[in-house]
Amino acid sequence: MMEGTSSAPAPAVKEARIALSGFDKSRSGSLPVTPSVLDASRVRVVEKEALGAAADHEAIEAKFPKCYGKPRVEFEASDVEGFFTGKGAPLRIGCVLSGGQAPGGHNVIAGIFDSIKARSPDSVMIGFLDGPHGIYTGNYIEIDDARMDLYRNTGGFDMLGSGRHKIEKPEHFLQSMQVCTALRLDGLVVIGGDDSNTNACLLAEYFLQNNCATKVCGAPKTIDGDLRNTYIPISFGFDTACKVYAEQVSNVMTDALSSQKYYHFCRLMGRAASNIALEVALLTGPNVCLISEEVAEHSQSLSGISKNIAQIIQQRAQNGKDYGVVLLPEGLIEFVPEFHLLIEEINDILAGDTHADEERVVHALSFNSKAVFSYLPQDIKSQLLLDRDPHGNVQVAKIETERLLALCVGAELELLREQGSYDGSFRPQFHSFGYEGRCAAPTRFDAAYCYAIGRTVGMLIAAGQTGMMASITNMLKPAAEWTCGGVPITMMMNMEHRHGKDKPVIKKALVELDGRPFQRFTESRDYWALADVYRIVGPTQFSEDLPGSFAVPLTTRLEFAKTPAEMPPPLMATGDHDSYLVDGRNKPILIFNAGPTMSDVSTARQAYEPQLPACLGTNGVGVSAYLGESVQNAAYADEEAANKTLPLTSAERPLVTLAVPNAADAKFHRGTPVDPTSGPFRIGVAYCGRQSPGGHNILVGLSRAVEARADGSQLIGFVGGTSGIISRSYIELNSGYLELFKNTGGFVALGRTVDRIRGTAVASTIAACRDLRLDGLVLIGGSRTASDGAKLAEAMETEGVSTTVTAVPCGADGRMTNVFVPISVGFHTMSSVTASLVGNLAIDASSARKYWYFVRCIGGEASHIAAEVALTTQPNAILIAEEVAARRQSLGDIVRYLADIVAERAEEDRNFGLVIVPEGLLPAVPEVGVLIAEIDDLFKTQTPSSGRAFTVEEVIPSLTAWSAALLQALPVFAQEQLLLERQSDGKLQLQQVETEKLLAVLVGEELKRRKNVGQYSGKYSFVNTFIGYQARSSMPTNFDAALGLAHGVAAASMVFNKLNGYMTALSNLTAQPSKWIADAIPMVALLAGKALEVVPAKLAMDSPEMTLLREVRESWTHQDAFVNPGPLQLHDASVTRPTRISQGKRDYLLELAKVREALTRVHRALRPGVDQGVLQISRSSLMNLVEIIATLERGENTMDEPDVAATIFKQRIMRDTMAPKPVNGMNKMPLKIEEMSGDAMDMAALREEKA
């Protein structure tokens, strides 16, 4: 709005969310608990003591002569005096979301809205768009009931958008006053953190000095927790963010305990303060948590910090522990003396210069800073030089401090190794938890707190208050008893030197080293360092019936507790464990006898009882095995090879249905069940594959079935999986122990090592089973486990060993699926938790409107999880590895495709978005796949000089010219990650390769090229993240809890019925668990290829989910259709249903049953005497079908690719039902396969085309 303008600016048009999840809809109707004073019919404004400033009183008073020294106020219900909170003159209030996002901002707006609308329906609520910039430019919308109801209890700031602009220039203040005057605003509410509320106070002072009627008040927002004092006990959003981070840290801890081989370094958002790190530490109990304020207090150098951590790791190694969890705040690097100086110098050197030149910067650095800078890895140097905020300062949040710290710790450990005092293995993993916590759905506490803030600030303005911040105190009492009022913003201020000037700012509330929260931490950390007391936090819950769902943050409780009853108990556990040496490890596997440390959520979760399929009776008692027909391999050539290689287990291979007698839903019964074998039985079980939610419930199911026999049967668990089998390391499993782990994530109950029973391990496994007198061996894992299990079963029979081998399909990546197994244990949870985090990032993108999020989803070489997450969250772009491979798209093709999307959205002023990348993308890119294969081969024949990773110089001479050129063209971080040591199967560790970062960097380079030639004018800034470890050991959904339990009972039943070489399978999964059907599938029928392996399932191009993705993803490119499914709700009936992917798959056995039923009807109809016309039609149709089947079988025998004949056949029958449709971007030609048409097929043409 220009100077001198008095007419009101017209409202803008801002699109609202166009898609809501079921979770959002359920939460939108939930009214937060409200302090009773806010619902009183008459309220008295009580003035309390006058307050000055946090420091520099005279300077603050000079800056704020009108606002300084005001008394704080409290609202009290009164029947005698005070203003009426009900009907009154309408108010016009504007609000703005300022600074970074924090959960609950929408509820602050809802509180203001309800407050003024209750006063008068004619009241008007104005929302300024995209931060403070919207105030002085007059960019706003009017908030009505429909828009407000859409955003209640939701996370993010996308209702209005946020921004980090400041009202600081004289013209900004004048224009802001003109806009507020023209809009006739009674009040303006600034919803923001310390800097934003400082700005609010400056605006209030300016308005007062210029007789502007608009009152200005603030709401305390920041997830960092650094806006806090006696009257603002906590800033909103802190609780939600901490719980999101704590859940992820807790899952990482569970994952660490399961494999016991990694040190996880987790960086937590929080700016300069360590409040988040401290809260998360108190919630979870890490082995190490660094507190920046303590580092500064003791002037700890990076070397000193690294030595301290190395000493803890050394002590843990002496105790048999080569794993652990380290937490560090993102602002840590600023508090390390040498880095603090380095950052200050870089900021000064680059002031006003947006093009950083490393040589120029190094030349200008002081001698000491130059030494520190030269020591840093190239990635960290780039982050210090290139990633700067709008003010030219280093963006601390983007510095990968966790990698730098691990590098230094590793160097210290090597020194200790050289001295002979350390013999451990240090394998660091890196995590950065931040942006996904800013826009999560607010917890019940934050939802209520924010709504109360909104109601309070609305009343402050109605009472004529200005320069005040809403204050809610007495928060350790029930919400109805909270005290509401306001405090002058000036009471929080001091003077600070910024950008060469002394400026008034709200003093940041850092961790107080003499405060009770930090003291509680120091009392516990030495114990946590060595004893693993990791607490299972679980996902944030919203059920009012769940204890702890409305919990005040621990640091707040510790700080403000007045009685012992209000003090939270310390996080302690015995940490008692037994040690078991297993094959191939120089450190034992530890088994914690007392089970995991529980939270309110996990305790309630442990009590949940999953439903068991009716066909399995009561814990498997009386289940019989009904023999069906022989199961064929998918390809005839594979069946011939299996019959020749595995003759004993291939002889009959019947499909078996497991059911108690007369179970109505049992299918494929043939004759009588197998003769039961009397017990007692002795069963062994091992975790072979990687961690997967629901895995513990498999053990619970096995245990319950064994104990239900009451005949002395035993269940033993091999510690460390396959290595434990070989070394005969096991524990007796019983319900008393396993019930401690029911419905929890990870494989902590037994641990795991490698997924390998082949070569010499086969003989060792057979010997162990014979010596331990096992009647059955149950192997839990994915396709590799099933492959080994099939061959082990044959070897058992060959050697005359009576132990049966059973496999349970368990794999979070979704690759252990086939026609019989529509979904493996853990996939539902993994995809749900991942989607929840991605949904948070999506809303963050649409709130800040300045970041492109590149998110890599775990999943191995398949894209099942990425596709599922995309269908749930609706990103702007989704890459599918299988599609890239099918289209033979190069890395350049992918980069250009993504750059096109970024550029197209930039033309619509959408310089933000969300890209989902599958973990297995790079091997699917032809030229990169060749490079990876060549490096894989090098690891088979050569040993890196460093022991674990090759250098570029080492591999270049051995690579082909094109692969060498490609490797050298990649960024340094990508080169190093591609050259890391391989997995136990000899393949690249995909989880260690930051594919999403590589794509984001290359897209940036392509956009820079386009900008140089005038083809792009937008802004591009990216944030990359990987979601893997923080999800795969999550607490299982109800569906996975029931699926794991059912598979466990089914596996025991298979042993009891002496079925060898079988895999458990459950079908009819779209029904309730009680109606699921249990079958046993001969593993030999699943083998394929020259190596006769169970091939991991890729995402089929003609699958229902791919068909749906192709139909909708183009629309996601240009519009923001983001959906946030919310955190996993364990009480919600929806979590018992399988995913879209499993729902999209037809139930194979039920379909087969329908076909068999149709054949029976045909057979019955074609008896002697049938009408001749019917006979002729039947003959023609059936002969066509016979020839089609024969053609397909011949195609499988004679063609290199088994599905070629089927593809030709499908293309023929689709000729009238499908036509190529040109689609934008990657979707050039749909690959959707429709159902077969009924037309007769031109077999001559088929033979000609086949030839």
Q: How far apart are CA 1203 and CA 475, in angstroms?
A: 65
The token pair at 436 is 């996904």
Which residues, in sequence order, are bridge partners of residue 501? 498
Which residue in 464, 24, 381 sits closest to 215, CA to CA?
464
3-state SS assignment for residue 738: helix
Identify the helix (H) or strand (E) that includes residue 488.
Answer: strand 483-488
**3-state class percentages of the chain: helix first, strand second, coil last, to nearest 5:** 45, 15, 40
Q: Which long-range contacts (CB under 8 A, 24 or more apart) does 1107-1110 make?
A: 1107/1230, 1107/1232, 1108/871, 1108/1140, 1108/1144, 1109/867, 1109/870, 1109/871, 1109/878, 1109/880, 1110/1223, 1110/1227, 1110/1230, 1110/1231, 1110/1232
Identify the helix (H) or strand (E) that includes residue 878.
Answer: strand 877-878
Catalytic: 224?
Answer: yes
Which residue in 141, 137, 135 sits closest to 113, CA to CA?
141
The token pair at 178 is 């003109």
The token pair at 122 is 């004619």
CB neighbourhood size of 682 (10 A): 19
- Beta pairing class for 263-268 and 428-433: parallel
Residue type, 1127: P
Which residue in 66, 318, 103 sits closest to 225, CA to CA?
103
Following CA atoms 1140, 1146, 1149, 1150 in sequence, which dihedral angle do they give, to the nearest 10 degrees? 110
Q: How far apart are CA 282 and CA 261, in angstroms?
A: 24
One of 224, 665, 755, 1120 is an active-site residue; which one? 224
The token pair at 990 is 């995909």
Q: How far apart are CA 1216 and CA 1211, in angstroms?
A: 10
- Residue pair 94/160 in contact (Cβ under 8 Å)? The answer is no
3-state SS assignment for residue 190: strand
- What residue numbers does the annotated binding site for diphosphate cover? 100
DSSP state of 479: G
- Residue pair 968/956 in contact (Cβ under 8 Å)? The answer is yes
Burial of residue 1039 (number of CB atoms within 10 Å: 0-12, 13-18, 19+): buried
Residue type, 1087: L
Q: How is the beta sheet containing 140-142 ordered, strand by strand?
A: 83-84, 42-50, 71-77, 483-488, 468-473, 215-220, 187-192, 92-97, 124-128, 140-142
The token pair at 1057 is 């019925």
Residue 913's φ and ψ, nearest 5 degrees, are 170, -175
> Can you state the angle between helices 1038-1056 and 827-848, rounded to 10 degrees?
160
- Residue pair 276/225 in contact (Cβ under 8 Å)? The answer is yes
- What residue numbers does the annotated binding site for Mg(2+) cover? 194
Identify the helix (H) or strand (E) that includes residue 220.
Answer: strand 215-220
- What residue numbers does the annotated binding site cover? 100, 194, 222-224, 261-262, 269-271, 330, 435-438
Burial of residue 347 (number of CB atoms within 10 Å: 0-12, 13-18, 19+): middle
Catalytic residue annotation: 224
